[in-house]
Chain A
Amino acid sequence: MNAKTASLPETLIEFRDVAFHINDILARVIVSGISLTIPHGETFVLLGRSGSGKTTLLRLINGMLLPTKGEVRVQDRPTAEWDPIRLRRGIGYVIQEAGLFPHFTVAENVALVPTLENWDAPRTAARVQELLHLVGLDPREFAHRRPRELSGGQRQRVGVARALAADPPILLMDEPFGALDPVTRAELQREFSTLARRLGKTIVFVTHDLREAMLLASRIVLLQAGNVVATATPQEFLRLDHPEVRAFTSSLSVPPGAPA
């Protein structure tokens, strides 16, 4: 691991009694009472049903949302005090539809943050090559394609490469494999879990799929209606006695071969 990463504080992301409201006509509480400490190098999976506040927590980390109460600290500084551009350049972000720029080639998409950071051309080109190899895409075949010429799985691989481009210590992933067919999905999950272990990034991963959480998480955070109801390692999680945990574990317990 390089010197930059080694000098990072133990706790990379911290939620201190965070709440987020939307002030429409009636103030709507999206998340509240969130306190979480995410140490360096861990993969935290935020698990929950739709609308439980998972994506909101993710967007609070990179300052796309600011807490209405409490504070979110990234590298020991509240997100409200960060220059949002600087904060986000140090945080990789992968979303479900990948959000690749359709007018850029694969190589240009991957090179986005290095270009914004004014890397010189040879360094950027070398980094793009390295990253495409890393996510299992042959640069000779894919570098010059446009996103529309890729399959869903390939687009998602490019999305991961783009997020990793400037070697950010933190990676945020919002159901990155959610829109893929089951076979491609399982393939990417397996590959990504290996990659995550190798890279030693701090990863916050949002999903509603318990299998995915079990495969990738070093810790699972279960959300329900904007609150954290459980934080546990995958092994502990299955033994927790909470109705929402049981709701999720029962979704796993269909034996193979049983009628759906």
Chain B
Amino acid sequence: MSPPMSQLSSTWTFFADHRAEILGATLDHLVLVLVAMIIAILIGVPLGMFIVQRPALRTIALGVASIFQTIPSLALFGFLIPIPFIGGIGKRTAIVALVLYALLPILRNTYVGLTGIDPAVLESAEAMGMARSQILFRVRLPLALAVILAGIRTATIITIGVATIAAAIGAGGLGGFIFRGVALVSNALILAGAIPAALLAILADVLLGLLERRLKVT
């Protein structure tokens, strides 16, 4: 058998032998991503709604969120370890870092979605005697939903990727295979982490994309 073929078959054998372990790591990974995304959405969407009304806070909030995005992910995990309460080794620190990463796309898309609405629609809403909160919840938010969801979709895909690095600080997940594979120079191990992570990202992209299309109002 030629070398690539033998590698493929040995990878396949490895997958088959360790399927329970791979599945467990995939579930771990998924939980990590879901918890981080839920927290990021719970912070990002209300904060985005808030900064629409407060121009002074807008620059600060978007600026701080952008700074987190520019920090290399491995460094961000490292920075968090010595910080009391949120830091240390393990899942909690990883989730904090993932939330910080996911925040910018969600925050920015919420803001853009809420402000990018046809001015004629907002003008007539105001002129019809709608209160500011009614305009926010009945007009701006429903019309911004597809754009907000696009931000959540981007953030989810980023988080699935970044979460593999969380294994470096002992958070578990699919990154464990990748780090071990790099250390042991084993392609089979690396692929055991990389393939499920890629499949998760594709699946999230497709599902959220479908939802986004359903929510879009033209």
A162 to B125, CA, bound (A): 11
A180 to B120, CA, bound (A): 16
A95, A96, A98, A162: which has the most chain B beta carbons within 10 Å?
A95
Chain B residues contacting A112 (CB-CB under 8 Å) are 128
The answer to whether A116 and B129 have CB atoms under 8 Å apart is: yes
Chain A residues contacting B118 (CB-CB under 8 Å) are 97, 99, 102
The answer to whether B129 and A88 have CB atoms under 8 Å apart is: yes
The answer to whether B218 and A93 have CB atoms under 8 Å apart is: no
Closest Cβ of chain A to B2, distance in Å, is 58
- A116-B134, A148-B218 known; A99+B124 contact, CB < 8 A: yes
Interface residues of A in 91-142 (CB under 8 A from B): 91, 93, 95-103, 112-113, 116
The answer to whether B120 and A97 have CB atoms under 8 Å apart is: yes
Flag whether B86 is at the interface (Cβ < 8 A).
Answer: no
Chain A, Cβ-Cβ closest to B121: A99
The answer to whether B129 and A85 have CB atoms under 8 Å apart is: yes
Chain B residues contacting A100 (CB-CB under 8 Å) are 121, 124
Closest Cβ of chain A to B169, distance in Å, is 44
The answer to whether A103 and B120 have CB atoms under 8 Å apart is: no
Flag whether A8 is at the interface (Cβ < 8 A).
Answer: no
Chain A residues contacting B134 (CB-CB under 8 Å) are 116
Chain B residues contacting A238 (CB-CB under 8 Å) are none
The answer to whether B120 and A96 have CB atoms under 8 Å apart is: yes
The answer to whether A99 and B129 have CB atoms under 8 Å apart is: no
Contact for A101 among B126, B127, B131, B139, CB less than 8 A: B139
Chain A residues contacting B120 (CB-CB under 8 Å) are 95-99
- A97-B118, A97-B120 known; A116+B130 contact, CB < 8 A: yes
* Interface size bracket, B side: 10 to 19
Flag whether A211 is at the interface (Cβ < 8 A).
Answer: no
The answer to whether B218 and A101 have CB atoms under 8 Å apart is: no
Chain B, Cβ-Cβ closest to A62: B127
A105 to B128, CA, bound (A): 17
Closest Cβ of chain B to A239, distance in Å, is 36
The answer to whether B128 and A88 have CB atoms under 8 Å apart is: yes
- A102-B143, A102-B217, A103-B142 known; A93+B127 contact, CB < 8 A: yes
Interface residues of A in 151-202 (CB under 8 A from B): 159, 162, 172
Flag whether A86 is at the interface (Cβ < 8 A).
Answer: yes
The answer to whether B131 and A103 have CB atoms under 8 Å apart is: no
Closest Cβ of chain B to A102, distance in Å, is 5
- A97-B118, A102-B217 known; A113+B128 contact, CB < 8 A: yes
Flag whether B17 is at the interface (Cβ < 8 A).
Answer: no
Chain B residues contacting A22 (CB-CB under 8 Å) are none
A95 to B139, CA, bound (A): 17
Closest Cβ of chain A to B20, distance in Å, is 47
A148 to B217, CA, bound (A): 9
Flag whether A89 is at the interface (Cβ < 8 A).
Answer: yes
Closest Cβ of chain B to A115, distance in Å, is 9
Contact for B128 among A86, A93, A96, A97, CB less than 8 A: A93
A86 to B130, CA, bound (A): 10
- A97-B118, A101-B121, A103-B217 known; A89+B142 contact, CB < 8 A: no
The answer to whether A102 and B128 have CB atoms under 8 Å apart is: no
Flag whether A150 is at the interface (Cβ < 8 A).
Answer: no
Contact for B123 among A87, A99, A148, CB less than 8 A: A99
Flag whether A252 is at the interface (Cβ < 8 A).
Answer: no
The answer to whether B126 and A89 have CB atoms under 8 Å apart is: no
The answer to whether A116 and B123 have CB atoms under 8 Å apart is: no
The answer to whether A64 and B127 have CB atoms under 8 Å apart is: yes
> Which residues of A pack against B, CB within 8 Å?
62, 64, 84-89, 91, 93, 95-103, 112-113, 116, 148, 159, 162, 172
8 cross-chain pairs, A with B, having the tightest CB-CB distances, nearest first: A99-B124, A88-B129, A99-B120, A93-B127, A89-B129, A97-B120, A103-B217, A85-B129
Q: List 9 A-B contacts (CB under 8 A).
A: A87-B129, A88-B128, A93-B124, A93-B128, A95-B124, A98-B120, A101-B139, A103-B217, A159-B124
